[in-house]
């Protein structure tokens, strides 16, 4: 299994080196308009003796396929096979709502549907180009998933959809029901999951009691532990190993690990590094 870490920092110049030394294959840097240009930071701070990849999230409507291809060609000359792109329609944050930021029909004020449709058209163009771009497509709905799969592109799939085995579908009346069944056979999947790992079940039960009443998507009440993200899952270290083997049996060869707090980031890195060491 290949492990990626979600949480690239522009403030920690040692992060990439440390994660490379632990065995991580890559680090995802999120799209934040106010943080500065990650490509410039990457060139300025990269240790060329390392191999860890910079997976940079890009909203397609913010940059043309041609220009993104140009960047990829240049980066490949500077540091071969170190840059990867995560194409994502985008979760627009509250501080971005007041401006579109892009001069065009599709911008950060556009609806999710319009941004997804733009990304699908973007993939059509990108796949026709002679490009060195190594990219993944974040797919949270069947439209993006089917488009990426039709081009045999690499896909980042949320754990919540993998676990259910289908994408949700919102009807005209607002009701959410099971939608398209997920077929990941033969597809290049990176699973995005937020694991919380402890050595024993007693540690999990003590720290995260299973006493939070929640309502499922379809009206069924159930008890669950606190979920920091929609993709949170709890594992003992032993169960974590079983989970990774299950993914491998399903043909998934890459995982992207996210964490919610500094404490969980430290736990996540520790347990993942331990697993990689014990399962070379």
Q: Give 131: exposed, middle or buried? Use CB within 10 Å, 0-12, 13-18, 19+.
A: middle
Judging by DSSP bridges, how do beta strands 176-181 and 166-170 pair with one another?
antiparallel
Please indicate, yes or no, if residue 184 is contained in any of the structural domains: yes
Confidence of residue 210 (pLDDT cuts 50, 70, 90): confident
**Closest to 264 (Cα-Cα) out of 191, 192, 196, 193:** 196
Number of compact structural domains in the chain:
1
Question: Is the separation of the CB atoms in 177 and 218 below 8 Å?
Answer: yes
Q: Which of 55-69, 88-102, 238-252 has the highest mean pLDDT?
A: 238-252
Q: Is residue 205 part of a domain?
A: no
CA proximity to 37, closest of 3, 75, 6: 75
The pLDDT tens digits of the residues spanning 216-240 come to 555 555 567 777 888 899 999 999 9
Confidence class for position 202, pLDDT limits 50, 70, 90: very high
Domain membership of residue 213 (yes or no) is no
Q: How far is CA 226 from CA 209, 214, 254, 265, 266, in A?
A: 8, 10, 26, 17, 19
Length of the chain: 280
pLDDT (average), residues 60-70: 91
Residue 207 falls within a domain, yes or no?
Answer: no
Indicate whether 130 pLDDT > 80. no
Task: Kindly state whether residue 218 falls inside one of the protein's structural domains.
Answer: no
Weakest mean pLDDT among 1-5, 12-16, 192-196: 12-16
Cα angle, residue 92 at apex, residues 197 and 124 outer, rounded to 5°: 95
Question: In this structure, what CATH number is given to the domain that contains residue 186?
Answer: 3.20.20.30
Report yes or no: 190 and 158 within 8 Å, Cβ to Cβ: no
Single pTM value for the model: 0.89
**Which residue range(s) make up the domain with 13?**
2-195+230-278
Going by C-alpha positions, the residue among 52, 81, 85 that lies closest to residue 68 is 85
Residue 64: inside a domain, yes or no?
yes
C-beta neighbour count of 152 within 10 angstroms: 11
In a domain, 188, yes or no: yes
User: Considering only CA atoms, which of 274, 254, 279 is closest in space to residue 25?
Assistant: 254
Cβ neighbours of residue 35 under 8 Å, at least 6 residues apart? Answer: 10
Examine the pLDDT at 117 and tell me if it is beyond 90. no
214 or 39: whose pLDDT is higher? 39
Q: Is 229 exposed, middle or buried (0-12, 13-18, 19+ CB in 10 A)?
A: middle
Return the DSSP state at 8.
-
What's the mean per-residue pLDDT of the chain?
Answer: 88
Q: Check pLDDT > 70 for residue 211.
A: no
Identify which has the larger pLDDT, 92 or 55: 55
**pLDDT number for residue 216:** 57
Residue 202 lies in a domain: no
Question: Which helix (DSSP H) or strand (DSSP E) does residue 85 occupy?
Answer: strand 83-87
């Amino acid at each position: 299994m290949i492990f990626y870490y979600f949480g690239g920092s522009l403030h920690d110049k040692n992060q990439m080196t440390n994660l490379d030394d632990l065995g991580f294959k890559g680090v995802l840097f999120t799209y934040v308009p106010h943080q500065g240009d990650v490509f410039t930071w990457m060139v300025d701070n990269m240790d060329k003796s390392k191999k860890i990849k910079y997976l940079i999230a890009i909203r397609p409507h913010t940059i043309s396929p041609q220009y993104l291809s140009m960047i990829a060609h240049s980066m490949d000359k500077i540091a071969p096979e170190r840059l990867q792109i995560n194409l994502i329609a985008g979760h627009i944050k509250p501080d971005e709502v007041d401006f579109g930021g892009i001069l065009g029909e599709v911008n950060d004020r556009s609806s999710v549907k319009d941004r997804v449709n733009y990304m699908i058209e973007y993939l059509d163009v990108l796949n026709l180009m002679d490009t060195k771009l190594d990219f993944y497509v974040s797919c949270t709905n069947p439209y993006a998933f089917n488009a990426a799969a039709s081009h045999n592109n690499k896909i980042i799939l949320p754990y919540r959809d993998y676990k259910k085995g289908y994408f949700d579908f919102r009807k005209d009346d607002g009701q959410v029901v099971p939608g398209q069944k997920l077929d990941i056979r033969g597809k290049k999947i990176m699973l995005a999951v937020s694991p919380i790992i402890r050595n024993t079940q007693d540690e999990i039960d003590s720290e995260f009691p299973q006493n939070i009443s929640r309502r499922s998507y379809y009206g069924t009440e159930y008890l669950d532990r606190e979920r920091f993200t929609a993709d949170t899952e709890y594992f003992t270290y032993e169960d974590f190993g079983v989970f990774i083997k299950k993914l491998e049996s399903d043909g998934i060869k890459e995982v992207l690990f996210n964490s919610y707090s500094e404490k969980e980031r430290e736990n996540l890195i520790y347990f993942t590094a331990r697993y990689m060491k014990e399962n070379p």
